[in-house]
Amino acid sequence: MATAFQFEARSPEDFPAWRFPTLDVEYDAATASLWMHYKESAPPFYSMQTLADMAAVRESVRALFASPEIEARPVRYFVMASRKPGVFKLGGDLALFADTIRGRERDTLRLYAHACIDVVHGLAQAFGLPIVTVSAIAGQALGGGLEAALAQDFVLADEAARIGTPEVGFNTFPGMGAVSLLTRRLGAARAEEIMASGQVYSGREMYDLGVVDILAPEGQAREAALAWMGEGEAAFRRRREIAGLRRRLFPVSREELLKITDLWVECSCDVTPSDIRQMERIAAAQRKKFA
């Protein structure tokens, strides 16, 4: 599969002092958890650099597990979180979408979409490692932000988090994983209802719907995640088995994800000039608010 980025795995000997342009990596010895934080200084959306960094994290963790260093710092949990106040992740690069659609650069848009799938599929497979993956959502997780969160084994969110798939507002649909991942969690009818409505839900509402597995008090996502992961070896092993069972019973293949995202590319390239202007307005508002 062609991708639009290049990345390099970091050395296991340097763990946990790995450095990435848009991501911070942190190791918590008490819970044997590796945290991947979106940097506060990073764009609030998935830039190509962020996607490349996430792929580099994946390969770095795989290299760590293949090295003797894993004995000194064992990893049970992988946690995706954000350091940007009020934002988990706002989704795709809307300015890129608008430019490529207006310029009829279908191949460029497809390369971006395939890069997203490369990242999402790796997350959905827990990197092929014997770990449990967790999303710790605080703030807004919209579009691709929700899709990346859903690719984790367990989704934790604080009560006030804002979660949804707003792509219907551009006359398109969430094309980088939500169709597959929401359907497996909720069933086709409920997943389609969420995606078609464009509604943004609170963390509590998503917990009640069954999208969120663990509900944290407002502002306490990190503390709740640490407490949950700190429940001991038996809890970890049970969760790992549950996650593995889900993957066997409800597999999400790369081929399925690519077929859907290719449909998303075709759908996106058919939107109207008004839809493109709406993408640009939202992109400009994001830059102004979260720069």
- What does pLDDT average to in each consecutive run of 10 residues of the chain (291 residues)? 73 97 97 98 95 98 98 97 96 94 94 96 97 98 96 97 94 94 95 94 97 97 98 97 94 96 95 93 84 65
Spell out the domains of the chain, with CATH numbers in brackets.
Answer: 12-220+245-286 (3.90.226.10)
**pLDDT at residue 286, rounded to an integer:** 84
CA 147, 23, 35: angle at the middle one, nearest 5?
Answer: 75
Q: Tokens 């004995």 map to which residue?
A: 71
**pLDDT at residue 291, rounded to an integer:** 65
Residue 171 region by backbone torsions, left for phi larger than 0, else alpha for psi between -120 and 50, else beta: left
**pLDDT at residue 287, rounded to an integer:** 80
**pLDDT at residue 2, rounded to an integer:** 47
**pLDDT at residue 3, rounded to an integer:** 52
The four Cα atoms 48, 112, 8, 54 give a dihedral, to 10 degrees, of 70
CA 199, 257, 263: angle at the middle one, nearest 5?
Answer: 70
Burial class of 154 by CB neighbour count within 10 A (0 to 12, 13 to 18, 19+): buried
